[in-house]
Amino acid sequence: MCFRNLHRRRLRTFLCVLGITLATSLIITIGATTSRYVSIIKEMHTYFSGKVVIVSKGTIVIEAFPISTGNLFQTMVDKLKQNISEVKDAIPMLFIFNFEGTIEISPKNFTVGIPYGNWSVLVGPTPLKSGGSWPSENAYEAVIGSSLSDQFNLSVGDSIKLKTYDLVVTGVLDTSSALLSRSILVSLDIAQKIYNYYNLVNLIVVEPKEGVNPKELAGIIETRIENVEALTEDETTNLAQPLISNIETWALGITTVLFILSMIFVTAVSIMNVSERRRDFATLDAIGAPKTFIYKMVIMETGLMGLMGGLSGILLGSILAIIVASIYTSIPISLFLPGIFDITPPTLMLEVLVSTVSVSCVAGIIPSIAAAKMKIAEVLKVEY
């Protein structure tokens, strides 16, 4: 009966479902995009765990990675090892965000210069794909992430160009990490030559000796060395937390507005449907149908519209999320399709679908109450 009632008013039902679809697709697009960026930021926190990261004072840092200019002299590494007994090891790094194009809100790739033989400071246990090897010392060679390899059809032995330099690919990282899969790893001295950072780095990763508290070591470093910031794991997390909170608040605000608009739209359509079916409801009441039957019928109709709009909106929103990600990262859509559930997690789809149906059912409460409160005698007198 509910499907028949909706089918009888096809245009109105279609417009209502279309409105829910558009709202849901925007919710999915915004939710998927923002959650993806938040997950990438949180993923960056897993690097340098238990270590102290040194950057130039005033440098903007997100999860231990510098995103603004601020350089350190590479000679500071020897100073740390020789003058601070609590330091077990200090690894200098050069981290470069490579943007291409004016509309990109995320870098196209990352170039990371690491001293020869110290690759694990960043990649940890991440292996290379079969046939790969790490770059040789003082050689124009590089290891690239799997996403770059797939996008540009690169494999071991191929060449890539950084600035005016040609580098030979010696290996491909076997990882799905958003950061590492877009990374180009080269020896530190080669990175310094390519980007004109001679004897300069932009972060130093310090490993404390066993039993030394990272927070205490950070305080010692800042006391003995001028114009630097020594950041512990907790501090790097705190630096990114305001950004994450703002992104999540913005997404929640937009989602709430869209749900409210959907509720208003469904309520308006349902009121019109109820108004046109006064005779039907009066007849049902006259033959002894319980009031709860009318409540259930109206709410089920609005719930069905929410279900249809929610399912189509999730499909459309997932496609839009992939398109947005492709535009802003310059990565072909075809590379995102296999990982569609990474962009739009199933949990997000389920949450949005349940919320959409629930909001639509709530929107049907007012019209159902109005239908149940109709005075049977007056309605039958007018309608018949």
pLDDT given at position 265 = 77
pLDDT given at position 169 = 95
| Each residue's pLDDT tens digit, 102-112 | 444 456 788 99
Query: Which token pair is 167?
Result: 């580098």
- Given a cut of 90, whether residue 115 has pLDDT beyond it is yes
CA distance 341 to 36: 11
CA distance 6 to 305: 9
Using N-to-C axis directions, what is the helix angle for 291-329 and 346-363, rounded to 10°? 140
Quote the mean pLDDT of the chain: 83
pLDDT given at position 110 = 86
Residue 85 CA: distances (Å) to CA of 89, 127, 196, 207, 241: 10, 33, 32, 12, 32
Q: pLDDT above 90 covers what percent of the chain? A: 32
**Cβ distance 230 to 53 under 8 Å?**
yes
CA distance 124 to 76: 24
pLDDT given at position 103 = 43
What average pLDDT does range 52-81 have in this prediction? 85
State the pLDDT confidence band at 145, using cuts at 50, 70 and 90.
Answer: very high
Q: Which residue has the higher pLDDT, 58 or 69?
A: 58
- SS3 assignment, position 125: coil
Using N-to-C axis directions, what is the helix angle for 233-276 and 214-224, rounded to 10°? 120
Which spans in 106-230 are helix H?
120-123, 146-152, 188-194, 214-224
| Each residue's pLDDT tens digit, 327-342 | 776 677 877 777 788 7
CA distance 184 to 199: 20
Alpha-carbon dihedral angle through residues 237, 242, 248, 251, given to the nearest 10 degrees = -150
What average pLDDT does range 34-38 have in this prediction? 79
Q: Which residue has the higher pLDDT, 107 or 359?
A: 359
pLDDT given at position 102 = 43
- Given a cut of 60, whether residue 5 has pLDDT beyond it is yes
What average pLDDT does range 244-253 have in this prediction? 81
pLDDT given at position 326 = 81
- Given a cut of 70, whether residue 12 has pLDDT beyond it is yes
| Each residue's pLDDT tens digit, 276-330 | 666 666 666 666 667 677 777 778 888 888 899 999 999 999 999 888 888 776 6
* DSSP state letter for 178: T
Instruction: Name the residue ranges covered by the structural domains of the chain.
Output: 2-42+241-383, 51-231
